[in-house]
Amino acid sequence: MSLITPRTLKGFRDYVPSSMMPRERLIETAKRVYRSYGFSPIDTPALEYLEVLQGKGSDETDRQLYQFVDHGGRAVGLRFDLTVPLARFVAQHASELGMPFKRYHVATVWRGENTQRGRYREFMQCDFDTIGTQSVVADIETALVIHDLMLAIGFDQFTICVNNRLVLNGLLEKLGLAAQATAILRALDKLAKIGAENVLEEMQQQAQATRAQAQQVLQLAALRGTADEVLQQLDTILAGSANGAAGAESLRQVLSGVRAAGVPDTRVKLDLSIARGLDYYTGTIFETYLGPLPTIGSVCSGGRYDNLAGLFTKQHLPGIGASLGLDRLLAAMEELGMVEKVATPASVLLTYFAPDHLPAYLQLAAQLRAAGLRVELYPEAKRLGQQLKYADQRGFRVALVAGDDEWARRTCQVKDLRTGESQEVNLDPDAEPVAQAIHAILSSDLPAPEEH
């Protein structure tokens, strides 16, 4: 009989415990930060009617859509982001949700594009959005959530780049380039990557702009100085454009709001060259880059869209939100050595080598779990050295050793696997002294207990 080769599809991956545990921890961190701002969880189906998904982004996103005909003859597709399903969701449930509506959504999305480092065909996004308000407070909070999120994950060097589509659109209107806005912005977005000269070329070729027009667009992106200085220069450049002025004013409020909340200027920066590819953004836009690893791309991006659900409902639903690229972020953390190699969620291994006392082992493990500890009982009475080696390699923090002698004395050895030190502790009453000794070891290497 011939065996089937075990394999996974291109861009799709398995997650072994040592990669799944940091992944789950990251998800928990993101959810905790979202909840701290009052965002509530939702979920939607992976599969949607094709008409719900199609034609919402660019032609490119349509090409990347996984689509097929289901058993009932329906044209369906796998969601390629969480924003389009949100639009459908909000349009369908607006009356029972109430506005403004703040939700987070952590789920898998699929894109049939070519793979690269940090780019997969199946990956997870952690979105949060505020729907139903045009207040700049929502824009400010979006930036603050991204900021808190990056800090909570463990980064201290990162940059949240902020821009506003109205500023760009305002300039393009003044230059008579409004019709070619998409092509112009797409070229501008590549500034950091391909340089000014190439961007000028592309704007002329792809967007039929004159060289003078293209240079004026680039001039905007080249403004230097503090945010305040740049905004001041913007006012003169955009003079006469209502859209441009509104965009500049919004940027001013976002930046000062973020500063008022205590975020240092080094972390939130005005960057007039970021444009975002997705067409539905209409106001503030965000991109987040890691200081030590900018080449992996933006790990958290988003922006304001003033008519999210226009294709699904006549109700006007503005919104703003952002998406954390969980898998891209994990790829970066892996590369930066920020992922701890631990293969067990438990911290205590109860070694086992006196089978006559099995009931006592089981009772001790149960008592410790009741005290809130994660305890694994080794299933075989193998040599103690081997069990300790297992504990060491899996990343256990504490090993418990009890054999005939200890059971007779009603004690148990509590071994700190990091220092190698062992202490003999009384089992009675209810294994409480043992639990306390373990807690003491565990708390010794937690600098700040996390709040839940």
Partner RNA sequence: GUGGAUGUAGCUCAGCUGGUUAGAGCACUGGAUUGUGGAUCCAGGUGUCGGGGGUUCGAAUCCCCUCAUCCACCCCA
Residues that bind RNA (CB under 7 A): 5, 7, 9-11, 57-58, 60-61, 64, 81, 111, 113-121, 123, 125, 186, 189-190, 193-194, 276-278, 295, 297-301, 323, 325, 327-328, 353-354, 382-386, 388-389, 391-393, 401-406, 413, 415-420, 422
Reference 355, options 336, 338, 379, 386; nearest CA is: 379
Report yes or no: 397 and 344 within 8 Å, Cβ to Cβ: no
Minimum CB separation from RNA for residue 20, in Å?
Answer: 17
Shorter beta-carbon distance to RNA: residue 169 or 241: 169
> Of 235 and 421, which CB lies nearer to RNA in the complex structure?
421
Name which of 428, 414, 430, 440 is nearest 366 in CA terms.
430
**Cβ within 8 Å of residue 169, ≥6 positions away:** 178, 181, 243, 244, 247
Of all helices (H) and strands (E), which one includes residue 304?
A: strand 300-305
CB 429 within 8 A of CB 414: no
Are 118 and 306 a contacting pair, CB within 8 Å? no
Comparing CB distances to RNA, the nearer of 244 and 321 is 321
Nearer to RNA, 277 or 310 (CB): 277
Nearer to RNA, 10 or 93 (CB): 10
CB of 445 to RNA, least distance (A): 13
Closest distance to RNA from the beta carbon of 61 (Å): 7
| Among 107, 137, 105, CA closest to 122 | 107
Q: Report the nearest approach of RNA to the CB of residue 308 (Å).
A: 14
CA distances in angstroms from 21 to 26, 78, 372, listed in the order given:
9, 26, 19
Please say which residue, 24 or 392, places its beta carbon nearer to RNA.
392
Nearest to RNA of 35, 190 (CB atom): 190
Q: How far is the CB of 281 from RNA (least distance, A)?
A: 10
Shortest CA distance to 35 belongs to which of 137, 119, 103, 114? 103
Q: Which is nearer to RNA, 190 or 369 (CB)?
A: 190
Q: And the tokens for 373?
A: 């500890």
Smallest CA-to-CA distance from 19 within 299, 329, 334, 324 is with 334
CB of 413 to RNA, least distance (A): 5
SS3 14: coil
CB of 302 to RNA, least distance (A): 7
For the CB of residue 270, give the shortest distance to RNA in the complex, in Å: 19
List, in order, residues 6 or more apart from 71 with CB less than 8 Å away: none
